[in-house]
Amino acid sequence: MGVEGRMKCVKYLLFFFNFIFWLCGLALIVLGVLVQVALHSTVVINNVSASSAPLVLIVVGVIVFFIAFFGCCGAWKESYCMVTMFSILLGLIIITEIGKFGSVPDSVPDSCCINVTAGCGQGAMGDALKIHQTGCETVVEKLLKKNIMWVIVAALVLAFLQIMGIIFACMLMGGIHSGYEVM
């Protein structure tokens, strides 16, 4: 007994959006590698502190890549397990985004140090001899405050897409679990 209309639409919407996110994850990985090569003339990461920006791009790209893979393939193959994994991982991402994870008090990223070494930013907040006094946090904070409306809109759109992804995944899981053929 095939499910008509609604479940087919949910399946293809989930596939389409996850395919786009999969491509975005791949693009982030490639961009991270290109930034690493542009900054250090090598793909090899010798100093994690000096390569923090490309490393963040690569890690976020890999996470997006795999989560979108579960959503995309799970929807296409109508795999209950993969769609469930996608839904759980997306839920964990939302919880992580909502939670405020603090850093070590009086610490700055190692990239703020005048002489960048592993752990050089630990407890160095007030030491003008160890760290640059005008950091990127201030610049980014000013930029975000200047464009606060766009930041709010982007956050709301991202939250909406993530919640809709979970809802569609749960709907598709229900259709798969009920034994219906979604194609």
pLDDT, one tens digit per residue, over 66-103 is: 999 999 998 888 888 999 999 999 888 888 877 775 55
Q: What distance in Å separates the CA atoms of residue 171 and residue 145, rounded to the nearest whole number? A: 38
Predicted model pTM? 0.67
* C-alpha to C-alpha distance for 52 and 33, rounded to whole angstroms: 12
Reduced to 3 states, what is the DSSP secondary structure of residue 17? helix
Digit-coded pLDDT (tens) for 106-120: 777 777 788 878 778
Mean pLDDT of the chain: 82
Residue 104: its pLDDT value, please?
64
